[in-house]
C-alpha cells in the first residue's frame, strides 16, 4: 500500500511542478508566438505592397529616364540653383506630397524613414529628401 501511495504522491508533485513551470513560462512563450505571428503578417503585407508598387515605380522610372534623356539632349544645367524659382503658393495637402513622392529613404541605424520627392522646393525639403533638378536618379 505504501509504494502505491508514494507513487501517487510523486505523480502529484510532478504535475504541480510542470504546472508551475508552464504558468511561469506562459508570458514568455505567448510573447514570442505573438511576435512571430506579427512578423509573418508584416512580411506578407510588405510582399503584397512590393508587387502592387512595381508597376507604378516602373512607370515613374520610365518617365524619369525620358526626362534625363531630354535634359542630356538640351544640355541640362546640374549646377543651377533650384531655389531661385518663383515662389509657388504653399501646398500642404497630403495629395501634393503623395504626387511628388518617388521613394522612401530608410536609415535603420538611426531609425529614420524619409520620403524622396521628384523636385526640390522648400516645402518638400521640410518633409523629406529631394531629387536635385538636372541630376540623374
What pLDDT score was predicted for residue 79?
57
What pLDDT score was predicted for residue 85?
63
Give the number of other Cβ atoms within 10 Å of residue 61's Cβ.
Answer: 12
What pLDDT score was predicted for residue 2?
79
CB 98 within 8 A of CB 117: no
Per-residue pLDDT of the chain (137 residues; tens, 9 = 90+): 678 889 999 999 999 999 999 999 999 999 999 888 888 888 888 888 888 888 888 888 899 888 878 877 776 565 566 666 665 555 557 777 778 888 888 888 998 888 888 888 888 888 888 888 767 65
Residue extents of the structural domains in the chain: 1-76, 79-137
What pLDDT score was predicted for residue 11?
94
Three-state secondary structure of the chain: CHHHHHHHHHHHHHHHHHHHHHHHHHHHHHHHHHHHHHHHHHHHHHHHHHHHHHHHHHHHHHHHHHHHHHHHHHCCCCCCCHHHCCCCCCCCCHHHHHHHEEEEEEEHHHCEEEEEECCCCHHHHHHCEECCCCCCC
C-alpha cell at 99: 504626387
What pLDDT score was predicted for residue 3?
84
What pLDDT score was predicted for residue 27?
93
- pTM more than 0.95: no
Amino acid at each position: 500500500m505504501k509504494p502505491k501511495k508514494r507513487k501517487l504522491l510523486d505523480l502529484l508533485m510532478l504535475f504541480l511542478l510542470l504546472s508551475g513551470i508552464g504558468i511561469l513560462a506562459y508570458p514568455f512563450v505567448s510573447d514570442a508566438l505573438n511576435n512571430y505571428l506579427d512578423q509573418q503578417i508584416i512580411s506578407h503585407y510588405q510582399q503584397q505592397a512590393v508587387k502592387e508598387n512595381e508597376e507604378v515605380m516602373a512607370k515613374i522610372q520610365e518617365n524619369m529616364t525620358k526626362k534625363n534623356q531630354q535634359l542630356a539632349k538640351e544640355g541640362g544645367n546640374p549646377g543651377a540653383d533650384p531655389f531661385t524659382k518663383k515662389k509657388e503658393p504653399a501646398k500642404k495637402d497630403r495629395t501634393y506630397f503623395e504626387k511628388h513622392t518617388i521613394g522612401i529613404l530608410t536609415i535603420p541605424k538611426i531609425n529614420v524613414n524619409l520620403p524622396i520627392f521628384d523636385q526640390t522646393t522648400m516645402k518638400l525639403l521640410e518633409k523629406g529628401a529631394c531629387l536635385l533638378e538636372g541630376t540623374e536618379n
